């Protein structure tokens, strides 16, 4: 019996993918698309798309495998969303990108600095997408990303200023709403993560929200166990076990059985000299007990580089009881990589392909679940996000 508390659903596992994979690589200076052959051995890089734009996320809709959205801005122009229906051969700009409502005369209104996270909606709502922004805002599109409306139940919730701590409490690139997760059984059941703010849950499609942070540490606050104010870096929900949540947090790696409603720090089983601080966390598409992380140095002034200059992914195959180091093929030393929270991804093949992008512009791939890594692109701009998509 796996730790997720239910029988492994071999009988209704989705079939493993067998076709080419596209990696949607969003960088500080534009977006790139790396396409593989069916064996995932040879990769071709296309792009840059939107050269000079800061692209925070690029996502292909898994429901139609056609609609591709890219969140973009330049250092000097306002934020927007670009849309493609042909995998980047042609693009159209969103007619109404995410934006907060105009404030009443005399009141201070919020301004979207950039869209940070793009999430396709529930399978039963094929044209619905959600977007998370910096500063923390939640937006919904019902026309495949052409027009976006604020999710007022979150954005105007009277607790938002307290939950988020205001706009000064966030990452060096600004506070962010990310990890928009939709329960595959119920489009009204959603989770979000906020840096900062914590993990929040809605059971009425975003009309109301409640903090979901019990058990999670916030050691940067006077009370290290607050109800909210945490810093989840990346939260994941497994599509086959949607009552199991994982998060890579500023303060460790956690797992939650939703019925228990309490985060358990599974990162305590990581090697002490490596620690359990990092940005990304990736789940196996068919095994809810398997997860990969890419630890970083979270000591002292937070270098956020590979601990000791020796980069490695770690995998657990038993829901966090034990972890295994995966560094074959990665540089052995003097490699001070940083992999951001959206820059690690899995495909749906068997064995699963794991991909990561570094802030130094390299894309690394493993077609054997992290057992061996190969660099498939280098000299790209600083990588913000890597999403694997089945073609």
Partner 1 sequence: MKVLIPGPLRSYTGERREVQAAGSTVGEVLADLDRRYPGIRFRMIDEQDGIRRHIRIFVNGGQVRALDAPLRAADEVLIFQALSGG
Binding site for partner 1 (CB under 8 A): 52, 74-78, 80, 93-95, 97, 99-103, 108-112
Neighbours of 91 (CB within 10 A): 15
Please, what is the minimum distance in Å from the beta carbon of residue 99 to partner 1? 4
Shorter beta-carbon distance to partner 1: residue 137 or 229: 137
Shorter beta-carbon distance to partner 1: residue 75 or 158: 75
Please, what is the minimum distance in Å from the beta carbon of residue 131 to partner 1? 14
Shorter beta-carbon distance to partner 1: residue 147 or 171: 147
Please, what is the minimum distance in Å from the beta carbon of residue 118 to partner 1? 18
- Tokens representing 18? 């067998």
Please, what is the minimum distance in Å from the beta carbon of residue 103 to partner 1? 6
**Contact (CB, 8 A) for 79 and 114:** yes
Shorter beta-carbon distance to partner 1: residue 172 or 222: 172
Shorter beta-carbon distance to partner 1: residue 97 or 229: 97
Shorter beta-carbon distance to partner 1: residue 33 or 99: 99
Closest C-alpha among 282, 273, 272 to residue 387: 282
Please, what is the minimum distance in Å from the beta carbon of residue 280 to partner 1? 26
Please, what is the minimum distance in Å from the beta carbon of residue 114 to partner 1? 12
- Tokens representing 250? 């500023």
């Amino acid at each position: 019996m796996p730790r997720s508390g239910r029988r492994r659903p071999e009988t209704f596992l989705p079939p493993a993918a067998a076709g080419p994979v596209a990696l949607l690589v969003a960088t500080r200076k534009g977006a790139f698309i790396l396409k593989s052959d069916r064996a995932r051995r040879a990769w071709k890089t296309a792009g840059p798309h939107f050269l000079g734009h800061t692209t925070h996320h690029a996502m292909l809709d898994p429901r139609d495998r056609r609609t591709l959205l890219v969140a973009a801005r330049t250092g000097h122009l306002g934020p927007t969303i670009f849309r493609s229906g042909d995998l980047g051969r042609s693009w159209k700009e969103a007619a109404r990108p995410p934006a907060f409502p105009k404030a009443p005369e005399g009141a201070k209104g919020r301004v979207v600095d950039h869209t940070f996270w793009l999430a396709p909606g529930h399978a039963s709502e094929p044209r619905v997408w959600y977007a998370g922004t910096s500063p923390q805002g939640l937006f919904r599109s019902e026309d495949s990303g052409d027009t976006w409306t604020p999710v007022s139940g979150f954005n105007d919730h009277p607790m938002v200023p307290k939950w988020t701590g205001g706009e000064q409490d966030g990452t060096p690139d600004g506070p962010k709403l990310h990890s928009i997760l939709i329960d595959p059984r119920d489009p009204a059941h959603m989770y979000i993560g906020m840096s900062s703010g914590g993990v929040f849950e809605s059971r009425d499609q975003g009309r109301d929200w409640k903090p979901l942070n019990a058990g999670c540490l916030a050691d940067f606050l006077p009370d290290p166990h607050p109800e909210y104010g945490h810093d989840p870096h990346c939260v994941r929900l497994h599509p086959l076990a949607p009552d199991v949540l994982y998060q890579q947090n500023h303060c460790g790696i956690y797992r939650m059985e939703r019925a228990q409603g309490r985060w358990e720090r599974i990162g305590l089983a990581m090697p002490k000299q490596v620690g359990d601080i990092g940005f990304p966390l990736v789940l196996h598409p068919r095994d809810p007990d398997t997860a990969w992380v890419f630890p970083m140095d979270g000591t002292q002034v937070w270098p956020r580089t590979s601990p000791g200059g020796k980069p490695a992914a770690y995998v657990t195959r038993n829901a966090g009881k034990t972890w295994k180091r995966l560094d074959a093929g990665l540089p052995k030393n003097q490699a001070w990589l940083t992999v951001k929270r959206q820059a690690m991804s899995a495909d749906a093949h068997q064995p699963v392909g794991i991909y990561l992008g570094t802030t130094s512009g390299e894309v690394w791939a493993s077609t054997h679940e992290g057992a061996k890594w190969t660099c498939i692109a280098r000299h790209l701009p600083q990588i913000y996000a890597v999403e694997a998509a089945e073609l």
